[in-house]
Structure 1
Amino acid sequence: MPEVNGERSVALIATCQQGAATTVYCAAAPELEGLGGMYFNNCCRCLPSAEAQREETARALWALSERLIQEALGGQAS
């Protein structure tokens, strides 16, 4: 059974088709054409969590993403 943060989790077990379903739906659904900035889970539009909407969290995630990319590129400037 997979572990996340030291806890066992059955919820993370999915087939490749299940894992790709929401991405494929959002890319191919005619009713979503031209729309963006929405959060989907299991092919359903959902409200993001309060934490996901915090500006401070967004800035921290952006900074971490930049740092990890720089490390992966061997410190090369963009």
Structure 2
Amino acid sequence: VLLLNQTQLFWFQTPPGQTLPSASGAATTVYCATAAELEGLGGMYFNNCCRCLPSQEAQGEATAAALWELSERLIQERIGRQSK
């Protein structure tokens, strides 16, 4: 869970100008969504439009489970607020 909190801090406290512009940041997502050579493939990690091995931390089952639980909780909290 500490890893997730550090990740949250990075995204919410990074000063402007130290992250990619929107177009550059979206390039990998757009490439993966539209590249004909990737059609029918999944389960791969890409960074800057290149296939890469994910970090050891990203491959940990405990981290994956914690992220899944956090995601479910945040979605439930958001849904609960919208239904009131």
TM-score, normalised via structure 2 length: 0.74
Which protein has the bigger strand share? Answer: 1
Structure 1 8/66 Cα, relative in aligned 2: closer, same or farther at 3 Å? closer
Q: Secondary structure at the match of 1:17?
A: helix
Aligned length: 73
2:38 alignment partner, one of 13, 28, 32: 32
Matched, 1:46 2:75: no
- Percent identity reads 66
Is the aligned partner of 1:63 residue 2:69?
Answer: yes
* Offset of residue 11 of structure 1: 7.8
Give TM-score, length-normalised by structure 1: 0.79
**RMSD of Structure 2 on Structure 1 (CA):** 2.7
More helix per residue: 1 or 2?
A: 2
